[in-house]
Structures are given as structure tokens and as C-alpha cells.
Chains A and B, each alone.
Chain A
Amino acid sequence: MTLASAARLGVDPHRDLTDYDPEADLMVLNMGPQHPSTHGVFRVKLYLDGETIVRAVPYVGYLHRGVEKLLEELTFVQATPIVDKNDYVSPMTNEQAINMAFEALLEVEVPRRARYMRTLFAEMSRISSHLLWLATFGIDMGGALGGGTTLFLHCFRERESILDLFELVTGARFHYNTHTIGGNRHDIPAGWAKRVHQALDLIASRVDEYLDLSTKNAIFVARTRGVGTLPAKLALELGITGPILRASGVDHDLRRDAPFHAYDEIDVKVQTEQAGDCLARAHVRIRELSESIRLSKLLVDGLPEGPICGGRPIKNPTQFKAKDGQAYVALETPRGELGTYVIGGGGNKGASPYRLKIRPPSLHALAAMPYLLVGGTISDAVVILGSLDPIMGEADR
């Protein structure tokens, strides 16, 4: 990290505390990996002066499963269900990302209907992911025994309707394994579009209620306004993408700037905010939620007829082989830019990647923690972490 941006924030993440006021009697508090609000197994070491944080050191890796190495052992066809578990709040976009990378490497065409379906699934995932973010943000702010839980359970109720719709298509509620190289494995059942409309209308009609409990609530605003302000320059330097970057005033969204799949046929309205604080992030996500509802309706109405998978049906796991070559595909997930870099010509006579690298947006978001936490209190730490919406399964892989 450049020292310039650190100086601008008045924050040195590598601050040497030996010269700190000797009277202060600093306390070191290990927050996590087992803590109710660390969104899984994130750990941050806080140096506290009273309750004010003077230095914060984040530690990741508690959920490291060696996914990238595992994918080198498996073949291209076998990779999809593994990456489902990376960003476990939005598995559809993981499947989409890895299969798009493989398709680019193997030069496989995806039929138009499959492209539309993937885009639709991605937008619906965004709805369910942002709902889950709002739910857990409520818990972070209001606790498991209070108003936060009310918000939490209502958001979960709506998210459930999205999962039900995915279940009707794929048979699974969470780890779908529905994307495959060259298209999708499951076609949409009869009458599904109508149910999508019903569910989305219901969610849209209830979003205002959630705003009453969150961004329109005076206490919520007091807790988030001006807390965890992330300047645009620092966000760019840290490689932060997605709603966090847009909340800092950078108008960047791969769905519009580098359209993939069906995004070149629909018009995505990118939501931005200037303030860069937790409240701005909340506003951006909530507006994206409404935007995704609109996009999903457009996509489900405009779903073209045709095959859902191009080329030959997949008969065995070593069907696709790449002698060499490489591909990098980045796409916009609910959390930001999920990149997949793959080099062909690996094991199983070329049916596996030689090397595969996943660039998770959550890991980059967590890099902002040492900057954002300093000067705040433990209460702020929880709110800031919640507003970054990290998924440790993705950050640690």
C-alpha cells in the first residue's frame, strides 16, 4: 500500500506502537475467528486504547480449503460443484465465472438461451445475496436479541423465495451445479416465469418495510453515517470493486463496462454514492437490489427459445481438453469483480487446468480493514466489517 493514501487517511496500518503513549495501557483484543459478527472465521487483532482502536491487523485463512490446488487435480467438467462453496451466498455467479473462464480457454460457444439464463440466475443471486447482506448487517447493528433479528428474519423470508425458485430449476437450494461448459444443465420448468414475477413483486413491495427498519431509521443512520469512510483513491489502490467501490463514488460496474452474456442486450443502471461510508454502501446495495429485481423481470420475459447447452452432451469428465493456452475472465458478482485465471495443459492428459487462480472480491475488501477501523470503536468495527460484506469462503478459498 502506498504511503500517500495512508497519510491522507491519517492511518498507518503498520503503525509501530512501541512509541505510543506509555500511559495508555493498550489492550490487545483478538476478535475472532470465533465471534458472532466476524461473518464466518475472520480474525482481526485490535489494539485498543480504552475502546478506541489504534491499530487493527486482519488475519485471513481460517477457511482455506485449497480450492485452487484441488481444481488442478479435477478436470474442467468436475470443477463446477467445487466453486459453488466459494462464495456460498451467491453460488450461481461462482459457477458462471469458472465456466466462462473454461469456455474462453476451450473456445466453446454458449447458446443464447443459456446466456440469458445465466444472466437471470446471476441477477437473482444478487437479490438473494444483497438480502442476506441486509439481514446480517441488521444482526451486526442490533444484535441477535433485538430489532436486528427482526430485519434478519424478514430478509431471510424473502431470500427463501429466491432459493425456492432455484430449487425448481436445479433441484438444489444452494449448491446448484447447474452451469457447465457450454451452457446449463437444467432447463426452466413450465410456469416458472410466472412464479418469478410473483416472488419478485412480493420482494419489491416489501423493500420499503426493510428501509423503515434500516436506512430510514434514525439510530441506523447515526450508526453508519461517517463511519468507515473509504476514499475512492484508496479503494482503487486496494483493488476493491463492486458496491464498496461504487459507494466511494467510482462509477465502475463490469455488467455495463465489459458486458458478458446477456448484459450487452439490457441496460444496467449503475448505482453510485459519493460519501464512501457505511451508509453509502447500504444505499448502493439496497438500490442495486431494486435494480436487480427490474433486470430479472426483463430477463425472464425476454428469455429466448433454443438449446441450453452447445456442442456435444458431456459423457465423461475428460471430454474437454486444452493442450495449452490461458484465459482470464472477470465478471461482476454481488461482491464485486470475481476473476478467474486459468492455464491449460495440466494433468489428466490436458483435461485439467495447469494452474487456476481465483481473484475474490471479498479478500480485497478485507484489505481495507486496517485503514477503516483505526479511530473507531469496537461497535464501529462490527458495523464496518458488516458493510464490507465479506464472504470468508471466497476470501480464503
Chain B
Amino acid sequence: MNAIHPIVLHGLIYGGAIATVLLTLTAWGIWFERKFAGRMQSRLGPTLVGWVGLLQPLADAAKLLQKEDLIPDQADRTLYLASPPLTVFFTLATVAVIPFSVDVAVANLPIGVLWILALGGLMVFPVWTAGWASANKYALLGGMRAVAQGISYEIPMVLSALVPVIFAGSMDVNEIVTWQAEHHWLVLGPGLFAFVIFFVSSLAEANRIPFDIPEAESELVAGVTTEYSGMRFGLFYMAEYLHTLVASAVASALFLGGWNGLFGLADGIHWMLAKTLALFFMITWVRWSLVRFRSDQLMRLCWIYLVPMSLALVMVSALWVYYEPMLGGH
């Protein structure tokens, strides 16, 4: 019997550890969001389960597990059942290439950025199939909106993610962070605009307000999740928060210097987590302050503003990187 290949072993150990930490963070991210929303709305948020309601996520999960598992008669059973776990799977798989520290990552793929963007693109499918398979008109409309939105925002997201790639000259996320540690954080330079575009597109990809159009519960009841009950709904819910966290982590790594510390403080996983949670906080803040766009306005924002802007950014970045050595920048 051969021993397990060291790369596989590394992947298993780090993958297990990072997934556990992230899923825990997700659960308490939900707690944090509920608490934050409560404070913002002059109420208390969860208080009853555990100290300041800290055990609320466990209670929620226990409740969801006890719910009756309903499947509509006319639903396409295979797709209906496969969709919720797939959303979580695609989101979690993105995490593989995110470097939490210099040497803490599940896999340092040389095409890390491509991996993130490709899996982000695949996220559209389980959401759409969920809407399609539910045999519900609201879910169908939600699924269609999700496809339109997901595919449109994929473009500015990919283009703005190209800016760090151009500067660092690598698609390896860890290389990009290292480049930022050696030079400067991308957000402090021309990458600022790319960061804003990437952040906005991530909000749209994660279906967060003001872009939560596929769920739009005041219009489409619950959008794609209308027919789902119990833990199947819980998986969608989890994927949404996980997606938000992962998007924050990716933005931190690509633009905010990842594990690179400020003020000469030690680099490490604490910086990565701090930056990720700071972005998560911002997303939460936006969510509980704004109302949502209409789908056509969302499309206009994407195609008229974000896509041309990110295209221009890619061109400017390329020219910058090409001509900088000739100008004797260093």
C-alpha cells in the first residue's frame, strides 16, 4: 500500500480545518448580522439562547432540521434535491485557493484566480436549477433573474480581478498577496477602482441587498427558495452567508494585501481574518441600510457603468505595468 501522497494529505488536513473554521464563522456571521440588524433597528436581536444569544445559530439549525421536508409533486426531483448542497459545495470549493497566511492554504494553484472566478460562475447553475426544478412561478422568475444577474456581473468581476493579476504578473493568489506585501496594497494604488467594482460585483454575485433580486421576498415571496423547507432551505441560507464571507476573503486577498500586516506588525492569518470580517461588516451595514434595485436598473448599472469602467481599468493597468519600467519608476 502506498502512503497517501503528501499533497493530498496537506489538502485533507488544511481543507478540513479551513472548512470547519469558515462554517463556524458563517454560523456566527449570521448571529452577528442579526445582532447588528437588531441594534440598527432599535431592538435587541437574539437574546434568549445562550449569553447575548450566542447559541442562536445552533438553535436555528436544530429548528431547521426538525422541519418537515417538503418536495412539490411536480418538482424535478433530481435537480430539486441536488441544488441546495451544490450551492454550498461550489462556494466552499472556492476557498481552496485562498491563502489565509503565507503557508496556510488548501492548495496553491498557479491558476488560483481562474479557479475562484470559474467556481463563482458555476454558482449560477444550482440557483437556476433550484428555481427551475421547484415547479413554482415565483421560483422560476427568481431563477431567471439569478441567471441574468449572475452572468452579467461575472464580467466586471472577472475584468476587475484581472487588475491584480496584471500587476502581480501571476494568477496564483498567494503570489498576488506576496507582490502586495513587497510593493503596496493594490487598493492604495490604481487598484482602488478595481476593488470597488469587484466589491460591488461580489455583492451582486452573493445576492446581497441592494442586489438581492433573485430572492426579492417582497416581490417573489422567497424567489428560488420559495418551495424549499427545513435544512434544504438552510443550505441556501448557509451558502449565501458563506458566499458573502468568501467574497470578502477573496477581495481581501486580491486588493487589501491578504495576510500582509500594517504598521510593521507581524503578517499572518489574523490579518486575513480581520480584513475579511471588516468587509463582511461593511456588506452587512449596506444590507441593512438600502432598499433594492429593480432588475433592469441592475442590468443598466452593470452594462453601462461597471463593464466599460472595468475594461478601461484593465487597459490602463496593462499600459501602466508595461511603461512603468521605461519611465524609471524604480
Contact = CB atoms under 8 A, between A and B. Distances in A.
A117 to B, nearest CB: 31
Given A149-B41, A153-B41, A153-B42, A141 B289 contact: no
A382 B321 CA distance: 49
Among A142, A149, A213, A220, find the residue whose CB has the most chain B CB atoms closer than 10 A. Answer: A142
B204 to A, nearest CB: 14
Nearest to A153: B41
Given A51-B141, A154-B42, A140 B218 contact: yes
Contact of A143 (B137, B145, B292): B292
Given A150-B288, A153-B41, A143 B294 contact: no
A141 B218 contact: yes
A219 interface: yes
Given A142-B209, A222-B293, A147 B288 contact: yes
Interface of chain A, main secondary structure:
helix
Interface in A200-229: 213, 217, 219-220, 222-223
B218 A143 contact: yes
A139 interface: yes
A141 B293 CA distance: 8
Interface string B194-210: 00000000000000011
Interface in B97-156: 137-138, 141, 144-145
A1 interface: no
B219 A382 contact: yes
B212 interface: yes
Given A36-B218, A154-B41, A146 B293 contact: no
A154 B42 CA distance: 7
A219 B288 contact: no
B296 interface: yes
A381 B141 CA distance: 15
Contacts of A217: 290-291
B220 interface: yes
Given A146-B209, A154-B42, A220 B219 contact: no
Interface in A58-102: none
Interface in B235-294: 287-294
A47 to B, nearest CB: 12
A319 interface: no
Given A149-B37, A219-B210, A144 B141 contact: no
Interface residues of B, number: 32
Contacts of A27: 137
Given A153-B43, A154-B41, A222 B221 contact: no
A378 B212 CA distance: 14
Interface residues of A, number: 35
Given A157-B42, A223-B293, A144 B217 contact: yes
Given A150-B40, A154-B41, A219-B291, A139 B218 contact: yes
Contact of A147 (B43, B290, B294, B297): B290
Nearest to A223: B294
A29 interface: yes
A92 B297 CA distance: 41
Contacts of B219: 37, 378-379, 381-382
B170 interface: no
B209 A143 contact: yes
Contact of B220 (A142, A151, A213, A378): A378
Contacts of A148: 218, 291
A142 B292 contact: yes
A144 B215 CA distance: 11
Contact of B295 (A51, A140, A150): A51
B141 A141 contact: no
Interface string B139-180: 001001100000000000000000000000000000000000
A154 B41 CA distance: 6
Nearest to B293: A219
A145 B217 contact: yes
A27 B220 CA distance: 14
Interface in A142-173: 142-151, 153-154, 157
A35 B221 contact: yes
Interface of B: 37, 40-43, 137-138, 141, 144-145, 209-210, 212-213, 215-221, 287-297
26 contacts: A29-B141, A36-B218, A36-B221, A51-B145, A139-B218, A142-B209, A142-B290, A142-B291, A143-B216, A143-B218, A143-B292, A146-B210, A146-B291, A147-B288, A149-B37, A150-B37, A150-B40, A150-B288, A151-B291, A153-B41, A219-B210, A219-B292, A219-B293, A220-B291, A377-B294, A377-B295
Q: Nearest 5 CB-CB pairs, A to B? A: A142-B291, A146-B209, A141-B291, A153-B41, A147-B290
Given A35-B221, A148-B218, A213-B289, 10 more contacts: A51-B141, A138-B291, A141-B291, A145-B209, A147-B210, A153-B41, A153-B43, A219-B210, A222-B294, A380-B294
